[in-house]
């Protein structure tokens, strides 16, 4: 089940789909709208694990998003292998997510769709693909400050995603 409606479809993926990936999906959706591309791009999120399916976003993530003016409506779901057939870009939050996603790919075309979110950050594009500095740590066992740091890391990278998609849509 997808919700791309023929638009360029981005799926943002973390482990449980209640912290990082829904935060990233909300922030990306906002940035695409601001860039005038909201009608051409659909952003959703999912987890590699299924234990949170149907649960709402973590309350700390919700508060972090709301304080910055972002939407926080969300129900967790698990990434499905067949989504690769419709997804244009699948973005992982850390190397474990990327590795899990690449393990689900069907062919080389699917592999090229999987990228790490912070690899789009203008300040980090010089780093090699496997650099630990490109990961967004899971804030789940952390404090409210960890959620704010997560949001800041996401915000730092999303303009690069918007630029990447803008070029792809030409």
Residue 130: Cβ-neighbour burial (10 angstroms; 0-12, 13-18, 19+): exposed
Q: Which of 58, 94, 100, 138 is catalytic?
A: 138
- State yes or no: is 19 an active-site residue: no
- State yes or no: is 138 an active-site residue: yes
Residues in the chain: 170
Q: Which of 19, 20, 94, 110 is catalytic?
A: 20
- State yes or no: is 20 an active-site residue: yes
For 16-137, strand residue ranges (E) read: 41-47, 89-92, 114-116
* Structure tokens, 28: 């990306």
- Token pair 């943002």 in the structure block, residue: 12
Cross-strand partners of 57: none
Indicate which residues carry an active-site annotation.
Answer: 14, 20, 138
């Amino acid at each position: 089940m997808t919700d791309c409606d023929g638009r360029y479809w981005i799926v943002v993926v973390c482990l449980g789909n209640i912290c990082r990936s829904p935060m990233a999906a909300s922030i990306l959706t906002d940035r695409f709208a601001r860039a005038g591309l909201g009608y051409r791009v659909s952003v959703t999120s999912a987890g590699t694990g299924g234990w949170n399916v149907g649960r709402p976003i973590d309350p700390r993530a919700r508060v972090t998003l709301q304080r910055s003016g972002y939407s926080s409506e969300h129900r967790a779901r698990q990434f499905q292998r067949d989504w690769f057939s419709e997804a244009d870009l699948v973005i992982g939050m850390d190397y474990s997510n990327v590795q899990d996603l690449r393990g689900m790919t069907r062919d080389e075309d699917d592999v090229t769709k999987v990228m790490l979110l912070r690899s789009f950050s203008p300040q980090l594009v010089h780093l090699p693909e496997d650099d630990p500095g490109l990961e967004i740590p899971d804030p789940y066992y952390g404090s409210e400050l960890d959620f704010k740091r997560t949001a800041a890391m996401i915000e730092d990278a999303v303009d690069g995603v918007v630029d990447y998609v803008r070029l792809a849509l030409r």
